[in-house]
Structure 1
Amino acid sequence: MTTDRESASPALCRLQLGSELRQLRLAAGLKGAQVVKKLLWSPSKLTRLETGENTTVEPTDVMALCEIYGADPERRTVLLSYAKVTKTNRDWWLTAEYRSVLKPGLKAFLDLEATAEKALWCETAFVPGLLQTEPYIRAIHKRSDMEFTDEEISRVVTIRMTRQRLLVREEAPLRYIAVIDEAVLRRAVGTREVMREQLTHIAETVESRPNVRVQVMPFHAGATLSMNGTFGIFHFPERLGLKSLVYMENLADRWVKRDEADVKRFDNAIAELQAQAIGPDESLRMIKEASKEH
Structure 2
Amino acid sequence: MITDIESATPALCRLHLGTELRQLRLAADLKSTQVVRRLIWSPSKLTRLETGENATVEPSDVIALCDMYGADGEKRALLTAYAAVTKTKKDWWQTAEYRPAISPTFRAYLGLEETAAAMHKYEAEFVPGLLQTEEYIRAIYQVAHEDRDPGQIDTHVAVRMARQDVLGRKELPLRFTAVINQSVLHREVGGSSVMRAQLEHIAEVASSLPVVRVQVVPFKSGAHAGMNGAFTILAFRDTDALKPIVYLENLGDAQVVRSTSDVDQYERVFTDLQADALGPKESLSLIREAIKEH
If the TM-score is normalised by the length of the shorter chain, which range does it land in? 0.7 to 0.9
The alpha carbon displacement at 1:158 in A equals 2.3
CA deviation digits over 1:251-294, x for unaligned, max 9? 22222223333333222221111001112122112111222222
The answer as to whether partners of 2:50 and 2:241 remain within 8 angstroms in 1 is: no
Cα distance in 2 for residues equivalent to 1:145 and 1:61 = 44
- Distance change (3 Å), C-alpha of 1:159 and 1:186: same
Give matches, 1:44-193, under 5 Å: 52-57=52-57, 72=69, 74=71, 83-145=83-145, 147-193=147-193
- Distance change (3 Å), C-alpha of 1:249 and 1:114: same
CA deviation digits over 1:189-238, x for unaligned, max 9? 11121111111111122122222111111222222221122211222235
Cα distance in 2 for residues equivalent to 1:57 and 1:147 = 39
The answer as to whether partners of 2:136 and 2:194 remain within 8 angstroms in 1 is: yes
* Percent identity of paired positions between Structure 1 and Structure 2: 52
Q: Which runs of 5+ in 2 are unaligned?
A: none
Cα distance in 2 for residues equivalent to 1:169 and 1:148 = 32
| TM-score under structure 1 length normalisation | 0.77
The answer as to whether partners of 2:19 and 2:51 remain within 8 angstroms in 1 is: yes
CA deviation digits over 1:54-88, x for unaligned, max 9? 53356788899x7xxx964649x688765544332
The alpha carbon displacement at 1:13 in A equals 4.1
The answer as to whether partners of 1:176 and 1:211 remain within 8 angstroms in 2 is: yes
The alpha carbon displacement at 1:187 in A equals 1.5
Aligned length: 284
- Are 1:280 and 2:280 counterparts? yes
The alpha carbon displacement at 1:8 in A equals 4.7
CA deviation digits over 1:90-114, x for unaligned, max 9? 1122111111111122222222222
Cα distance in 2 for residues equivalent to 1:223 and 1:187 = 19
RMSD: 3.8
Q: Which runs of 5+ in 1 are unaligned?
A: none
Cα distance in 2 for residues equivalent to 1:139 and 1:238 = 38
Equivalent residue of 1:227, what SS? coil
- Distance change (3 Å), C-alpha of 1:138 and 1:239: same
Cα distance in 2 for residues equivalent to 1:203 and 1:44 = 44
The answer as to whether partners of 2:51 and 2:242 remain within 8 angstroms in 1 is: no
Cα distance in 1 for residues equivalent to 2:105 and 2:146 = 15
Q: Aligned letter for 2:226?
A: S
- Distance change (3 Å), C-alpha of 1:20 and 1:246: farther
Cα distance in 2 for residues equivalent to 1:28 and 1:18 = 15
Equivalent residue of 2:198, what SS? helix
| TM-score under structure 2 length normalisation | 0.77
The alpha carbon displacement at 1:149 in A equals 2.2
Equivalent residue of 2:270, what SS? helix
The answer as to whether partners of 2:232 and 2:247 remain within 8 angstroms in 1 is: yes
Q: Which sits farther off after the overlay, 281-290 or 126-135?
A: 281-290
- Distance change (3 Å), C-alpha of 1:178 and 1:9: same
Q: Aligned letter for 2:119?
A: A
Cα distance in 2 for residues equivalent to 1:282 and 1:61 = 52
